[in-house]
Amino acid sequence: ESLVILKGKLRTAWQVWRLRYAAVINLHGGPTSAMLTRVSRAKLTAGYSFFRYGSVYSHHVPIAQEILRQKGPVHTAEHVASCFFWLGVPYAEIPPAEVFASKTIQERVSDKLSAQGLGADEPYAVIHPAAAYESKQWKSKGFAEAGNYLEQSYGLRPVYIGAREDAQVMEDVERHSSAPILKADGWAIRELVALIAGARIFIGNDSGPAHIAAAAGKPVLVIFGSSDSAVWGPWKAVRSAVVQNYFDCNPCPGDRCAVYDEPRCILSITSEQVKVYLDALLRPETSPQK
């Protein structure tokens, strides 16, 4: 077993060619993944029938709806699983994802939080205010207000996470916050897993950390804009809520707003909407007003 990390196309292509896999299953479909499939020299190469570069594949997988015999959108977890079902894996219920944090990483995260003034036994929430596209990124002021609300109403210190390139987003959040914010920016994925696993609740945009939180068994609130929440929402989370205002143009590719001068789908979401669902997740006996 080996893990090949994409570090330059030519270098990765050479690694894939050298390892000579028996089978390659392409779940992405883009030009780079098709090229890597081609150079693999695998006898079995599978990709969905709607992928470009169809000549690359020995097996053309039907769409998930056909395999699963259902109409309408399917969740991306079902989409991926359907490929393996079609290739011969016995049909079974698709379980929730799971992630785990090692004790060593947990201790490292505890030390990092302690250095910012968060006590070892002090409860906290993790908030992810950044996203790949503007159409997926709720306003910084809203995340600051959510953090203030969690601290004032539930005694949860908000810890804001992001990549190093999200520095401007972090600054915007801090400008709207009632106090300097706790940051976990630029942390390694293992550290983020441990951080999220130790949180009381996660709130964020439609992005990777939200799925980590669901896999860690945390209550998850995800704010959606341009994406289809039925396809990309948290998969079988213990407790989850999706906050989304639907527009006629939703879903869309999300790289730009082709209808309005700004992505109204996500910017129209109010702090009050988010607070209602936070209450529902933290006080399960309450019911959010839809």
pLDDT in tens, 227-253: 999 999 999 999 999 999 999 999 999
HSE-CB at 99 with a 13 A cutoff on CA atoms is: 23
CA-CA distance, 89 to 70, in Å (whole number)? 19
In angstroms, the CA 234 to CA 222 distance is 8
Confidence (pTM)? 0.90
Beta strands 23-25; 44-48: pairing state: parallel
Give the three-class secondary structure for 6.
coil
Q: What is the pLDDT of residue 122?
A: 96
| CA–CA separation, 12 and 158 (whole Å) | 39
Q: What would be the CATH architecture of the domain defined by 103-282?
A: 3-Layer(aba) Sandwich (3.40)
User: What tens digit of pLDDT does each residue of 86-116 get?
Assistant: 999 999 999 999 999 999 999 999 999 999 9
Every domain of the chain with CATH number 3.40.50.2000 lies at: 103-282
In the chain, which residues have pLDDT < 70?
Answer: 1, 285-290
